[in-house]
Amino acid sequence: MIVATISWSNAADDFAKQSYSRRHTWSFDGGLTIAASSSPDIVPVPMSDASAVDPEEAFVASLSSCHMLWFLSIAAKAGFVVEEYIDEAAGEMRENDAGKSFIAVVTLRPVVKWGGDREPESAELRRLHDQAHEECFIANSVKTQIRIEIE
């Protein structure tokens, strides 16, 4: 079972006026607690905290992280040595047919630095990323289109 505890409490004088803080915390079973908030692009500061993680950022990061973890495992099993992996992943918000905003596309842009005595050819690198995408639990759980742009 996957558990995350989300905690928020009201400190506003008039909750009904929508001026309450959206800052809250995410706590995980390993003991880590992270400051979270709505995006200041959606709910303006000071009701949002720009220094905290917002759900949309976390969604993009979780897709990128899941892909990376599978990629590292698959690359290691194929005999490759990964020295560094950096992904500047980005999500695109759009409106669906009902006019509701959603994260329609997440683009992963992994840059891999290889070690050891060999590195994959272009076609093998694409296969490693395709297999990582197929295995990622989060990618398999969402309707968001996920693109992988390889340098």
Angle among Cα 59, 127, 64 to the nearest 5 degrees reads 15
**What type of residue sits at position 99?**
G
Comparing CA positions, the residue from 93, 1, 10 lying closest to residue 55 is: 93
The pLDDT value given to residue 12: 77
What tens digit of pLDDT does each residue of 22-53 get?
999 999 999 999 999 999 999 999 999 999 99
Dump pLDDT digits (tens) for 2-23: 999 999 999 877 788 888 999 9
Q: Could you list the residue range(s) of the whole structural domain that residue 120 is in?
A: 55-148
* pLDDT tens profile 102-149: 999 999 999 999 999 999 999 999 999 999 999 999 999 999 999 999
Number of domains in the chain: 2
Q: Extract the runs of DSSP E, i.e. beta strands, from 8-144.
A: 24-28, 33-36, 81-87, 90-95, 101-108, 110-115
- Say if residue 75's pLDDT is above 90: yes
Q: Domain boundary at 38, 53, 68, which?
A: 53
Q: Which residue has the tokens 């992994």?
A: 110
